[in-house]
Structures are given as C-alpha cells and as structure tokens.
Structure 1
C-alpha cells in the first residue's frame, strides 16, 4: 500500500490529468456510493480518503508493478524455497510461523529416535501450512489477474530451486564424517537457522471481517470441489515422485552420491516447466489448458518408468525427470483460485480446502509405493499415469463449466447502471454479476 501511496503522491505533483478522450473511459450510467461500506476492502478506504489521486498512465503502472515485484517477490520466493527445502531434506503464519518452522527444522538435529523425528515433522507441517495460502492471498491482493500466474510461478520456483539446493547440500554433507555431530544433523541445523532469518523479515497480510455466508457459499460452489479433486489427483503423482525420487533413481543402479547429483536435472525441469506454463497462462489467459499440457509429459514419464525394460536406465531416468512437470500445475491451480474466487473470506476458505487437498494427494502418493512391489514399483508408476489422466479430464471439465457460466451471465446481463468501486466491496464471484471466470 505504501508503494501505491507514493505513486499517487508523484502523480499529484506531476499534475497527471484525468482522461478526456472517449476512448479513455467506459461509457455508461454510474451509481455512486454515498458512504464507505464497513465490509469493503482496505483499498476502498484508501481511495475514499484520497480525493484527487489522478490517473496512472501505462508507464506509471509498469513502474509501480516493478516496485511491488522488487519489494515482495524475493520474500515470497524465499519462503517457498525454504519450505520445500526443509521437506525434501528428510524426503519428506507467515512471519512467526516461518520462524517457528525454522526452529523446528534446526531442532531436528537433536533427534535420536523415530518418535522424536515424527514429532518434529508434525510441528513442521503445522507451521508450514500457513505459507501457500498466505502467498496466494498476497499475490491476489497486489497483482491483476493476468499478472498473477507468472508471479505465482516465480515464488513457486522455490520448489525447483529447493530441489537443486537440497541435492547439492545432501551431496556435500555426505562427505562429512563426525561421530559426535553427524552430517545430517549439521545439515538440518544450517537450513533451520537460514529459515529463522527469513522469518524475521517476511511480510504478512491484513485480515478483513470474517463472513460466514461466504464460507457457506464456498462449500456449496461446484468449482470448489472441482478444484479440490484436480489438486488431489495431480498431487498423488507429485507426492510419490518427490518422496521416492531418490529411491527410484537409486533403483536404476546408481550409488547414493551419484543419485544425489542426478536429482539436479529434476529441479531444472521443474523450473523450466513452472516459468513456461505460468508465463503462457498469463500471456494468453489460459490456465486450464496449461494444466493439461503439464500433466501430459507427467503421464508419459510414468509410462516410461513403468514399461521400459530394466536395462533402459537412460529412458527410465528421462521418465523420472518428465514427472517433475506435474508439480508445475500447482501454481496454475493457485492462480486459478486467485482469479476465480472472489470475497476475502471465501478466498481464505478456498485456500484452506486447496491446501488440505494438496496434503491429501501428497499423503496418498507415497502409499502407492508398497514394499511388496519393490524394486520396480510398477503399480505406483501406473498410478502416476492414471491420476494424471484423471486430473487432466477434471481440468477440462472445470474449464467447460467456467465457459458455460460466463455465457449464462452474458445472456442475463442487466442493461442498467453499475456501482462505482464495486470491485472493492468484498463481493463473492457469485454475488458480483459482472464477474467473469478466467479459463
């Protein structure tokens, strides 16, 4: 908000005028709000207090977006990178929550038995659960719908970079040998302290009034459960691959140190797929199609691992790398929620459901790797194929639903006036009849 206030002040000093050409304004009847609504967004209160904010030119807007990028994107990326790094080292609220999860990660180094390790992982999951929902809200608050996919992809790059950093850390610490303080203990201590440092500087979000009717609407909205099912089905293979990637690569016949290094390309595939998919989604405003294009190579990768003969190590390794495209669908789902779920409380509720769906998929995924199927785990690899196909079908179904709903609203559109600042009234996507869903 401070960045916006500075930009407004700059416009006032420069005397930026209001638009005077017919092409600069939307022609139509207007209904004004006499009093600010108590349930409105903070942005509405800011605009009500600024009687002459002027008009921003395209160059002004680009300059403002760049300022916002440099202020919040590094912090969001750092949060997600450290969150993923802390999990992958053991194979698996902002601010305070980040500090607490860093402390728990550091304390993992003193664990001496399975019970202590389980306790730290449970606490770690509790504290990390705030990260993704908070970052989704921050992204939706600061960026336009077309700007959100790429920004979501940027902070979600923490997954790919976390994979690379985690692999290098694992490889490096395997060369340390100390009977009193082992390499894995030092590893968790270092990563935990870095996370604490990040938590001290991380930003938070401002809550608005909690509205129970928006919770009810979210639970009765078809898109809620479609998005939930897509997230579950796409994260079954994601959970399986992220948890058992080292096991799969080692099963191809490589030693532990080589296995750690061979996980580096997985991070590169993740980075490339995330950047490509989120850029294209924002450029062409197509999230659903990009989700499908990421699931296709994932299914192909599962097929290569499942059906290639045992001596085809290179082919199986390529298949393993292709499955890392699947995880890139998650930032697109995050972006879909940011764009298509309106109303602060409804969005918070949807984010919670999406997180639970993500967790459920990642719980189911590792369970498909049964010891009786070792060392090839063919049924688990077939599950990757099936769940990718199911998720792709659900994504296309949801896209068709959005298309139908948009056309229905177009047909029912009222020819009357509209309310100024309607976008700031904290209406849900169902309450706001001018709302149109992004495909």
Structure 2
C-alpha cells in the first residue's frame, strides 16, 4: 500500500494543530467585558476598513464602464447597436461561471495569499482594458474581469465570519457591503478628475479611467499580504491571550458542526419560500445593477449637464445611500424586523422610477435628478436586508470548508427564515443564481435608441421593484400568520429560545417541560435539528 503524500500529511498535521489550538483556547482564562470590548475594537480597526476598501475597488472596477461611456468609450471603440450592452453582459457570464471553482480554490489557499492574488489579477485586467481598441477587446476584457472578481466577495466574507460572533457580524457586514454603495460616489469624483487626462498619451479619458483605477487595485493587491491576517489563532497583531480568547468565544458561540445530509439540500429545493425569496432578491438586484451601470448616462441625458457635470452629479445619491444603508441595518436590528424595510425602501424605488417615466426629463431635470436619488437611496439598503448575507456565508462555508466549527451566522431576513445550515446554503445558492441574472437583464434594457428618457429600462426597473414590494408584503403577512398559528397551537416561545436558528434549537430546548409542550418529547437532538423551520419552537422573522 502506498504511503500518503507529503501534501496530505501536512494537511492532516495542520488540522491536528488547529484542533489542539482550539482545545487550549477553551481552557484559557477569560477576558473581562471591558478587555473583550477593547479587543473587538482592535480587531475592527484591523479588519473592517481595509476589507471594505477591497470591496469598494471591486465594485468600482465592475461598474466604472458606466462612467467611461460618458468619456467617449463607444466612439473610440466603434461600438454600434447593442455592442455596449453585450460588453456589460459578458461580465456576468464570467462572474457566474467561476463561483464554484473559486470556492474550491478558497479551500486550498490562505486568505493572505488568495485575496491579494485575485486582486492583482483583476487589477492587471482592468489596466489593460484601457488599451482596448475594438469591440472584441472590450468584450474579452470584461469577461476575464468577471472571472477574476467572482470569488472576492465570498472570500472576504468567509474571512470575516471567521472572526466575529453571530450578534457582532451584522453591522460589520453592513459596513463592508456599504462600501459598494460608496464606490458609486467615489467613482463619479474619480472619473471626473481622470476625464481631464483625455489626450494624454494619445488616449481618451475613458482609457485613463480604466488604467488608473486598475493600477490602484494592483497596488492595493500588492500590499494586501502584509495587511491581511489569516485566522485568529495565527494573528500577529494579537497577543497569545487575545488569540485564545477569540477562538474560544467563537467556539462557544457556534458549537460543533453537523454532518452533510442530502435531505437538507433537497428540503431547500422543495420549499416554495426558496423561490419567492429569489424573486424578491432579483427584484432588488436588477435596479441595483441598472443604476450602478447607467446612472451617469441617465443623468447626462437630463439635458442641461455636461459630461463632467454628469459624473459629478452621480456622486451625491450614492453618498447619501451609504449612510441610509448603515442606518437601516442598525435600526432593523434594533426592532428585529426585516420585511417592512424591504417594502418601504422598494416602494421608494417604485416612486422614483414612476417619476422618471411620467415626466419629460429634459423639461424637468431637477425633478428627474430627485427621482434618481429616490431610486439609488431606495435600492441600496434593500440588498443587505434581502440577501441575508451572513446567513449565506455561514452556510456556504459549511458546505465548502472543513473547519472544526461552523461560522457564526447572524440574523437577517432571508437567511433567518431558512433553518438549518445546509438548507439555508442551498436556498441562498438558488437566490444568488436568480439574482445575478438581474445584472444581465439590466444590461440589455437601457438601449441607445431609447435616449433620452429610457422608458423601457425604467419600466423594467419599476416592474422588478414592484414585484419585490408585493412579494415582501406577502411573505411578511405569511410569516406573521404562521407565527400566530404556532403560538395558538403550542403557546408562546420563551424569550431565551426566541430568535434561535434551526441548528441551535436542539441545544436550547433541553427543558423537559418545553419538549413536552412543543411536541418534542422523546426526540433526539439530531431529530429536532432536522425539523428546521418546521420545528414548533421556530418563529419566523417578519
């Protein structure tokens, strides 16, 4: 019989060392509450700002083609008909096609190596995009950009949930995601400045937008290995006591990982809520991508603004949306409601699109610009609220990584209403697949022949936003009714159990009286966990 490979042996030793470290951490002395608070601030300052910068650059490089369009990209590359729209679509084709292989690579590489590698890769692609001279070149570059960017988001979020407990993650993820909104503001200002370089080196302003922003990503990617720590047990910026405390608190927060069972995967495909939430998400994602890619063009067609002014005017809506997204995340956590925020903000989007469709934009540019504000500021806070980011990342990590404990899922609307890590992860996978197609739709409906009012594009955005509103209303009332039914049949759930997710219910329902009252008497913990959101103790978030 052949001996195991050196790679396998090293990998096994690594896992053994990790388990040994976790064991030591569980026996380490506790930090006081004040010391723990100071420790979490230390981790926040180290992780959140830099990782937010990385995602800001990612989203900026993804959508800066909208700003480049104003600076002569179509004219210089001789794009005709729907060729510009095709250049937008191919990004999403590349983006979707590498998500699974990228997740496999994440399993094999350290964050401090993997994240910088993909940043450097797409930074090079972005820079070279500025040298394109024809339709074929820009299409190839956009496709490769999608390939290289696709795994940054799950990579960073896997990294984040390796550091924080459930009740600590939501605001950090909201800040991280809000950097994408901030990129809309930053991108407009940067494009305005770079457009002044038109003619330098014989290149148009659009080319310098790609080149300079690509070089910026490349430089940040090169310094990233020194900025990104791998995992808490290896963090050089923490003391040994702090490292052990972080590992223990995560272990205590999440418990042991469960086993993979196809039953839970199939439960997700059989659950009609999976598909309703997917439709809610695409109802948010289509307007998001449409506004990110086309808001500079929409503003430029209002009739009274120059190209440079249009780039500057695309900044304020996204700056305001950044703060609205954070405020929504904080307040929605405080009152523990999700659906009402989707309904309110997507209604704002519907109103914004309705104004754009109903008025002569060239005659009323101020009103039209206000409508752009409504659309941008309405859609931004709904993405984080609809997608259930952290629950998705928790489930995704559960499916693709072999670590001694699952990651800490936080409470967000969609993810919270699919109990069980595997079912949740599968449901989120369906939601992402459907939602990403929103980028393809939005790329095709803002056509050159529809200028200056873009009635088709606005009508499609209104339709998707309206669908999201109606389905959110339906799900909110469904969850309220189902919670009331369970309360009537079984009685109110004790406060210390209310809010637990599916994989926690078997642990918290250890009171014999609770088990008897809720029909769980005689059931093993594994059986209770397998009930998922059908558990009589489970209550949906509305």
TM-score, length basis structure 2: 0.64
Query: Can you give the 5+ residue segments of structure 1 that lack an aligned partner in the other structure?
Result: 1-41
More off after superposition, 162-171 vs 143-152: 143-152
- In 1, Cα distance between the equivalents of 2:287 and 2:344? 15
Deviation of the 1:107 alpha carbon: 2.2
- In 2, Cα distance between the equivalents of 1:392 and 1:44? 47
- In 2, Cα distance between the equivalents of 1:102 and 1:428? 46
- In 1, Cα distance between the equivalents of 2:36 and 2:529? 23
Match of 2:127 in 1: 106
What SS does structure 1 have at the residue aligned with 2:65? Answer: coil
- Does residue 1:328 correspond to 2:381, yes or no? yes
- In 2, Cα distance between the equivalents of 1:72 and 1:427? 35
Match of 1:379 in 2: 456
State the Cα deviation string for residues 225-283 of structure 1 (Å, max 9, x = none): 22211111112222222222122111111211111111111221221221221111122
Which of the residues 137, 147, 151 maps onto 1:130? Answer: 151
* Residues 1:306 and 1:110: Cα distance change in structure 2 (over 3 Å): same
Match of 2:60 in 1: 85
What SS does structure 2 have at the residue aligned with 1:295? Answer: helix
Match of 1:283 in 2: 334
More off after superposition, 301-310 vs 135-144: 135-144
State the Cα deviation string for residues 80-99 of structure 1 (Å, max 9, x = none): 20111102211265613333
**After superposition, where does 1:218-237 map in structure 2 within 5 Å?**
218-237=268-287
> Contact conserved, 1:133 with 1:355, CA < 8 A, in 2?
no
- In 1, Cα distance between the equivalents of 2:309 and 2:469? 34
> Contact conserved, 1:148 with 1:282, CA < 8 A, in 2?
no
Match of 1:192 in 2: 214
- In 1, Cα distance between the equivalents of 2:420 and 2:128? 39
> Contact conserved, 2:286 with 2:464, CA < 8 A, in 1?
yes
- In 2, Cα distance between the equivalents of 1:104 and 1:263? 25
- Does residue 1:258 correspond to 2:305, yes or no? no
> Contact conserved, 1:235 with 1:362, CA < 8 A, in 2?
yes
- In 1, Cα distance between the equivalents of 2:32 and 2:177? 30
- Does residue 1:268 correspond to 2:319, yes or no? yes
TM-score, length basis structure 1: 0.77
> Contact conserved, 1:152 with 1:334, CA < 8 A, in 2?
no
* Residues 1:70 and 1:214: Cα distance change in structure 2 (over 3 Å): farther
- In 2, Cα distance between the equivalents of 1:103 and 1:181? 18
- In 2, Cα distance between the equivalents of 1:101 and 1:344? 32
Count of residue correspondences? 395
- Does residue 1:247 correspond to 2:247, yes or no? no
- In 2, Cα distance between the equivalents of 1:293 and 1:349? 28
Match of 2:476 in 1: 399
- In 2, Cα distance between the equivalents of 1:144 and 1:160? 25
Deviation of the 1:321 alpha carbon: 1.5
- In 1, Cα distance between the equivalents of 2:54 and 2:302? 33
What SS does structure 2 have at the residue aligned with 1:311? Answer: coil
- In 1, Cα distance between the equivalents of 2:231 and 2:283? 30
* Residues 1:208 and 1:365: Cα distance change in structure 2 (over 3 Å): farther
* Residues 1:334 and 1:66: Cα distance change in structure 2 (over 3 Å): farther
**After superposition, where does 1:282-431 map in structure 2 within 5 Å?**
282-309=333-360, 310-325=362-377, 326-335=379-388, 338=391, 339=411, 340=416, 341=418, 345-404=422-481, 406=483, 415-416=511-512, 429-430=532-533
- Does residue 1:73 correspond to 2:48, yes or no? yes
The root-mean-square deviation of aligned C-alpha atoms, in Å, is 3.6
> Contact conserved, 1:133 with 1:352, CA < 8 A, in 2?
no
* Residues 1:143 and 1:437: Cα distance change in structure 2 (over 3 Å): farther
* Residues 1:150 and 1:44: Cα distance change in structure 2 (over 3 Å): farther
- In 2, Cα distance between the equivalents of 1:75 and 1:208? 33
Which of the residues 200, 219, 229 maps onto 1:178? Answer: 200
Query: Can you give the 5+ residue segments of structure 2 that lack an aligned partner in the other structure?
Result: 1-16, 67-87, 89-101, 103-113, 233-256, 392-410, 494-508, 516-524
* Residues 1:156 and 1:108: Cα distance change in structure 2 (over 3 Å): same
Deviation of the 1:141 alpha carbon: 4.8
**After superposition, where does 1:44-59 map in structure 2 within 5 Å?**
49-50=24-25, 52-53=27-28, 58-59=33-34
